[in-house]
Chain A
Amino acid sequence: MWTSQKPRDFIDPTVLASLAGMPLMARRPMRGTVSGRHTSPTRGSSVEFAQYRKYVPGDDLRRLDWRAHGRSDRYYVKEFEADTNLRCCLVVDTSGSMEFGTVAEKTSDALTKKVITKLQYARRIAAAIGYIAVGQGDAVGLSCVADGIVKHLPALRNPSHLRSIFDTLEEAKGDGQTQLVEVLHELAETTRQGAMILVMSDFFVDPDQLRGCFEHIRFRKHDLSLFHLLDPQELNFSFGRPTRFLDMEGGTAIFAEPSEIADRYQSALREYLDRMSEIVTQTGVDYHRVSLDEPYQEVLTRFLTRRATARGVR
């Protein structure tokens, strides 16, 4: 097992320890390269019985079920489930909007007031999931996306690969405009079928465009999970006085009286979130809306638990 050589602020050993007993399960069969703990779409030699099928010439005679032959005078081959590992692709949005955050971080030093940005939150989730995946022998890759794929690490199950992932996460800076739709289409196409894709982003793009991405990824038989990161300020829009809003992705600034447009902002936000919920439901995406004031440990626990209970741990 890999041990961190230098302290990284997005890795909390306590949290990782508490998540150690929770496996990262795929919701659909994965196509791994080696044996693992995930169901494979192909039959294999595990202890879990899958089905009988008629013998055809060329089958391994060792798999003939002689007892069945004795009962029915026919040749059947006994098949078992194959276990394989998964390829976990972590996609972290590193566009400019991910640098937004207003939730104060709980630190022991009361004097240093530090806030958690969406990118930091994404780092923590990505690092924890990567750690868990590598720990259970799965391959983990990382893609940092903004106005394109800024950084890409292929999925490897080597524990030493985790260091590269952490380094890349640490170096990631929020900058540029989001081209999430194009990037997700690209990833869907370039990632080998049957992978687990986890996207951590604020998804500030048109939901209808995302629908196409999700359907594309599903078509490619990937298991897609979304962590929709939203700051409480973005949800509540609680400003007291006139404010000049500067676009973090380089767009035009807007001057507004928050009290006047709050209702319409809320209306637009509500419409957007409703649309997102509708799309993820229709496209079968594992969707997690996360407010940054929520501890990421709880988010991960909920994420892992729901998967474990839905699929069953082996």
Chain B
Amino acid sequence: MSFLQPWMLAALPLALIPIIIHLINQRRYQSTQWAAMMFLLSANRMNRGYARIRQWLILALRAIVIATLIFAIGRPIASGVLGGSIAGAFTGSGPANTIVLLDRSPSMQSSTDGTSRTKLQTGITQIVEALQTIGTERVVLIESNSQTPRELASPSDLLELPETGPSDASADMPAMLLAALDHINANQLGQTEVWICSDLRAHDWRSEDGRWKSLRDAFVDFGRRIRFRLLAFSSSETGVSAAQKNLSVRVEQADLVTDDDESAVVLSVKVQQNLDGVTSGQSASSDESSTLPLTLSLGDSRTVVDLEIRGGVGELNGHRIALPKGSERGHGHVSIPADLNPADNEFFYTFDAPAARRTVVVTEDEQVGRVLKLASEIPSDESVQSEAEVISPREVDGISWESVSLLLWHAALPGVGGRDGDVGTREMIEAFVERGGRVVFFPSASARGLRGSGEIFAMHWDDWRDADKDTAIKSWRGDADLLAATMAGTSLPVGQLKIDRYAGLTGEATSLATLTDGTPLLARVATPRGGVYFCSTTPSEDDSSLAADGVVLYVMIQRALAAGAESLGNTSNLEAGTSDPKLASRWQRLSGRSSALSSENAFIAGVFEQRDEGQLDEGRLIAVNRSVAEDVSATLDDDQVESLFQGLPFVRVDRQAGSGSSLVEEVWRAFLIVMLVAMIGEAFLCLPRQRTEDSVRVPGGVSA
């Protein structure tokens, strides 16, 4: 508990006045001659213990009366749940600086009954009320979208700023805390309270992230200067009831299918039931079956389809929506009726005729060139057109990069140590990757040593090594990227590959497949966009069985090709928050929440059109939606939260969406009530047990 007028507490010693008066009174006794000692002795013997207790009770009650009066005048606020600092309670009403970390992720838009205030609104309101009550000199907002500090004129600005409204982008809590830490360091802030308003979703908090440790270490150095207040809206303690069911809709696939005469969009939609704090798979009522009206919108037309929800999941696969003749491009959205969280009731999609998948194979080895060309040319989908050409490294300058999706490089690496023209080539490849293209580098089979063959993306080859008979592929990543298992869950036969010769690789890369001696067979270099892979062997029959056991090579190349082609397409489906906000601010919103600011285009779900400067024809369609992780309602448990803030001054307050109770409330009335009760008690104890008039008769005579 803290006080709005803490200086009043200086008057607390006044509560000792009754005791002091009592003691003084004891010292100020009078002496008198007394005759009727027999009654005094008798009175002194009777109920001595009770009288003493009563005396001290009266004194205590009098002290309580004064103390509670002083407390009441000090305007106490019930911020006990927030654990007000002791120093703050006596030296000042509020902290000097307050940093509000606001989780605006879609899950924060859920409410208890679908109509009342959302978690986000409730959190903001309560923080504003609390800050207005306890007062603060500076308020800085760090919201989950921009993750940049923004100083506010007053706490009430939180209620009006569009940057505190709902968003469809996931939050990155470590990044927000990092921003807060940077702000504190940059501005040399003193006593600071960091208020975190979040629903503790696991994917927003990323508790396994390595940044937490460094953040904790950095904040621990501040001691009690930085205090954390977590306003948690994890509603797992509220229990699971039918009213808390929440459904989310997601378009898994939106493909344009063109037949002889007509074209149509084929949609695959998945509706998933989430319970607050519980995933659908854990739901007790997962066997229930129900029907849900699913609204499919395409342009101006709408179709409502009844979707059966069984076991908490409903799927609509291969639903065709016919397109007008000549229409090959468009966008729409899928929606479900309103429920607890409106943020996951809508999903936007775009479609367009797929771009041709063009692969360029750079090699001087005919055999390798032929194998790679074959693996690139044969499309996995009949409707997709695939092309591949094999060129020598000398012809690289003539590549038309604009239409290339995949570059397969089987030659000396272009780079600093290479030929004069290598620098230009390297820059072109980097620009290609920056645009979203994919590159797979294979070690050159030339007689020249690989070590001096150049460097690109901070990677270079080492010398060739001959594999012994024990050399095999020890492990590979089957969960993601090029070697991921198939959609049916079948693993690629990577382990069956035979490696006869491979090249060493030096540089920072993530290994996707590793040989028994630890050398990566396939590695991916981290780049902001696009994809850069290094395969340490070649499809040559002297080097490996990649060509003979062609499945792995084919799948690998086709996946890289598909990913690269996507960057060339005229449509794209992005997760909210993954695009550059500056770039996205130039997009034109075609569908979605029209009231959203253009600066938040990258974070608000909808369909956008991206046009380059001077472009007159139709631009690129971009659908922005929430991430897949947003549909998984797993939250951090109490122990995880405690461990994240271990060693830090941290107070957690659990609230529910729509909760009306304030975080801080003035509770002087309670003190006045206590004071009144104490006064009544004191008066009751001071009452004479019997009236004097009754006790002694009027003097008179008795005559027998």
- Residues on A lying within 8 angstroms of B by beta carbon are 96-100, 118, 202, 204, 230-231, 234-236, 239, 241-249, 251, 253-257, 260-270, 272-273, 277, 280-291, 294, 302-303, 306, 310
Known: A241-B28, A270-B695. A234 touches B701 (CB 8 A): no
Complex contacts, B689 vs chain A, CB 8 Å: 263
Complex contacts, A283 vs chain B, CB 8 Å: 704
- Residues on B lying within 8 angstroms of A by beta carbon are 25-26, 28-44, 46-47, 51, 54-55, 688-690, 692, 695-697, 699-704
Asked if residues B701 and A266 are in contact (CB atoms below 8 Å), the reply is: no
Of B32, B690, B699, the contact of A267 (CB 8 Å cutoff): B690
Asked if residues A100 and B702 are in contact (CB atoms below 8 Å), the reply is: no
Q: Once the chains are docked, how many angstroms separate the CA of A291 from the CA of B698? A: 9
Asked if residues A257 and B55 are in contact (CB atoms below 8 Å), the reply is: yes
Asked if residues B39 and A265 are in contact (CB atoms below 8 Å), the reply is: yes
Complex contacts, B29 vs chain A, CB 8 Å: 241-244, 255
Of A204, A236, A244, the contact of B32 (CB 8 Å cutoff): A244
Of B37, B39, B696, the contact of A249 (CB 8 Å cutoff): B37
Known: A245-B40, A256-B40. A277 touches B703 (CB 8 A): no
Asked if residues B695 and A287 are in contact (CB atoms below 8 Å), the reply is: no
Of B47, B688, B696, the contact of A236 (CB 8 Å cutoff): B696
Known: A263-B690, A266-B690. A287 touches B701 (CB 8 A): yes
Q: Once the chains are docked, how many angstroms separate the CA of A94 from the CA of B696? A: 25
Nearest CB of chain B from residue A203's CB, rounded to whole Å: 10
Q: Once the chains are docked, how many angstroms separate the CA of A294 from the CA of B699? A: 9
Of A230, A236, A243, A291, the contact of B31 (CB 8 Å cutoff): A243
Asked if residues B33 and A246 are in contact (CB atoms below 8 Å), the reply is: yes
Complex contacts, B695 vs chain A, CB 8 Å: 263, 266-267, 269-270
Complex contacts, A262 vs chain B, CB 8 Å: 688, 692
Of A99, A230, A242, A288, the contact of B25 (CB 8 Å cutoff): A242
Complex contacts, A99 vs chain B, CB 8 Å: 33, 35
In the complex, 22 of the A-B residue pairs with CB atoms within 8 angstroms, ordered by the A residue number, are: A97-B36, A98-B35, A100-B33, A100-B34, A118-B35, A230-B699, A236-B692, A243-B29, A244-B32, A245-B32, A245-B37, A246-B32, A247-B34, A265-B39, A266-B696, A267-B46, A281-B702, A288-B700, A288-B703, A289-B701, A303-B701, A306-B703
Known: A243-B30, A260-B51. A97 touches B44 (CB 8 A): no
Asked if residues B46 and A235 are in contact (CB atoms below 8 Å), the reply is: no
Asked if residues B701 and A265 are in contact (CB atoms below 8 Å), the reply is: no
Complex contacts, A230 vs chain B, CB 8 Å: 699
Asked if residues B690 and A246 are in contact (CB atoms below 8 Å), the reply is: no
CB closest chain-B residue, reference A269: B39
CB closest chain-B residue, reference A277: B702
Nearest CB of chain B from residue A97's CB, rounded to whole Å: 4
Nearest CB of chain B from residue A202's CB, rounded to whole Å: 6
CB closest chain-A residue, reference B58: A260
Complex contacts, B37 vs chain A, CB 8 Å: 204, 245, 247-249, 251, 254
Q: Once the chains are docked, how many angstroms separate the CA of A306 from the CA of B704? A: 11
4 more CB-based (< 8 A) A-B contacts, given A265-B39, A280-B702, A287-B704? A264-B47, A285-B704, A286-B703, A306-B703
Q: Once the chains are docked, how many angstroms separate the CA of A284 from the CA of B46? A: 33
Complex contacts, A236 vs chain B, CB 8 Å: 692, 696
Known: A242-B25, A246-B34, A254-B44. A286 touches B699 (CB 8 A): no
Asked if residues B44 and A261 are in contact (CB atoms below 8 Å), the reply is: yes
Most buried by B among A118, A244, A303: A244
Q: Once the chains are docked, how many angstroms separate the CA of A191 from the CA of B25? A: 53
Known: A242-B25, A281-B704, A283-B704. A268 touches B699 (CB 8 A): no
Known: A235-B696, A287-B701. A242 touches B36 (CB 8 A): no
Consensus secondary structure, chain B interface: mixed
Complex contacts, A98 vs chain B, CB 8 Å: 35
Complex contacts, B51 vs chain A, CB 8 Å: 260-261, 264
Q: Once the chains are docked, how many angstroms separate the CA of A172 from the CA of B684? A: 49
Q: Once the chains are docked, how many angstroms separate the CA of A283 from the CA of B703? A: 10
Nearest CB of chain B from residue A287's CB, rounded to whole Å: 4
Complex contacts, A97 vs chain B, CB 8 Å: 35-36
Q: Once the chains are docked, how many angstroms separate the CA of A98 from the CA of B33? A: 11
Q: Which 3 A-B pairs have the closest CB atoms?
A: A266-B695, A97-B35, A264-B43
Complex contacts, A247 vs chain B, CB 8 Å: 34, 37
CB closest chain-B residue, reference A205: B38
Asked if residues B704 and A235 are in contact (CB atoms below 8 Å), the reply is: no
Most buried by A among B28, B51, B696: B696
Asked if residues A261 and B43 are in contact (CB atoms below 8 Å), the reply is: yes
Q: Once the chains are docked, how many angstroms separate the CA of A151 from the CA of B46? A: 39
Asked if residues A290 and B699 are in contact (CB atoms below 8 Å), the reply is: yes
Complex contacts, B701 vs chain A, CB 8 Å: 286-289, 302-303, 306
Q: Once the chains are docked, how many angstroms separate the CA of A239 from the CA of B29? A: 11
CB closest chain-A residue, reference B51: A260
Of A202, A261, A287, A310, the contact of B40 (CB 8 Å cutoff): A261
Of A263, A268, A284, the contact of B688 (CB 8 Å cutoff): A263
Q: Once the chains are docked, how many angstroms separate the CA of A100 from the CA of B46? A: 25
Nearest CB of chain A from residue B119's CB, rounded to whole Å: 60
Nearest CB of chain B from residue A12's CB, rounded to whole Å: 21
Q: Once the chains are docked, how many angstroms separate the CA of A100 from the CA of B701? A: 21
Q: Once the chains are docked, how many angstroms separate the CA of A32 from the CA of B531? A: 146
Asked if residues B41 and A204 are in contact (CB atoms below 8 Å), the reply is: no
Complex contacts, B33 vs chain A, CB 8 Å: 99-100, 246, 248
Nearest CB of chain B from residue A301's CB, rounded to whole Å: 12
Complex contacts, B38 vs chain A, CB 8 Å: 204, 268, 272
Known: A263-B688, A266-B690, A273-B697. A289 touches B702 (CB 8 A): yes
Asked if residues A260 and B690 are in contact (CB atoms below 8 Å), the reply is: no
Complex contacts, B692 vs chain A, CB 8 Å: 236, 262, 266
Asked if residues A242 and B32 are in contact (CB atoms below 8 Å), the reply is: no
Q: Once the chains are docked, how many angstroms separate the CA of A283 from the CA of B702? A: 11
Q: Once the chains are docked, how many angstroms separate the CA of A272 from the CA of B39? A: 9
Known: A231-B35, A248-B33. A264 touches B704 (CB 8 A): no
Of B25, B31, B42, B44, the contact of A246 (CB 8 Å cutoff): B31
Asked if residues A244 and B696 are in contact (CB atoms below 8 Å), the reply is: no
Nearest CB of chain B from residue A292's CB, rounded to whole Å: 9
Q: Once the chains are docked, how many angstroms separate the CA of A24 from the CA of B236? A: 101
CB closest chain-B residue, reference A117: B35
Known: A260-B51, A280-B704. A204 touches B36 (CB 8 A): yes
Complex contacts, A281 vs chain B, CB 8 Å: 702, 704
CB closest chain-B residue, reference A306: B703
Nearest CB of chain B from residue A297's CB, rounded to whole Å: 15
Asked if residues B702 and A287 are in contact (CB atoms below 8 Å), the reply is: yes
Q: Once the chains are docked, how many angstroms separate the CA of A245 from the CA of B37? A: 8
Q: Once the chains are docked, how many angstroms separate the CA of A235 from the CA of B36? A: 9
Nearest CB of chain A from residue B451's CB, rounded to whole Å: 103
CB closest chain-A residue, reference B703: A286
Q: Once the chains are docked, how many angstroms separate the CA of A269 from the CA of B36? A: 9
Complex contacts, A284 vs chain B, CB 8 Å: 704
Nearest CB of chain A from residue B272's CB, rounded to whole Å: 76
Complex contacts, B696 vs chain A, CB 8 Å: 235-236, 266, 269-270, 273
Asked if residues B35 and A234 are in contact (CB atoms below 8 Å), the reply is: yes
Q: Once the chains are docked, how many angstroms separate the CA of A298 from the CA of B40? A: 30
Q: Once the chains are docked, how many angstroms separate the CA of A273 from the CA of B702? A: 11
Q: Once the chains are docked, how many angstroms separate the CA of A303 from the CA of B703? A: 10
Q: Once the chains are docked, how many angstroms separate the CA of A168 from the CA of B43? A: 37
Of B28, B35, B40, B47, the contact of A254 (CB 8 Å cutoff): B40
Known: A260-B51, A268-B43. A202 touches B703 (CB 8 A): no
Q: Once the chains are docked, how many angstroms separate the CA of A285 from the CA of B689? A: 34
Q: Once the chains are docked, how many angstroms separate the CA of A230 from the CA of B42? A: 18
Complex contacts, A302 vs chain B, CB 8 Å: 701
Q: Once the chains are docked, how many angstroms separate the CA of A97 from the CA of B25? A: 28
Q: Once the chains are docked, how many angstroms separate the CA of A27 from the CA of B109? A: 106
Nearest CB of chain B from residue A26's CB, rounded to whole Å: 14
Q: Once the chains are docked, how many angstroms separate the CA of A284 from the CA of B64? A: 57
Nearest CB of chain B from residue A200's CB, rounded to whole Å: 13
CB closest chain-B residue, reference A288: B701
Q: Once the chains are docked, how many angstroms separate the CA of A214 from the CA of B679? A: 52
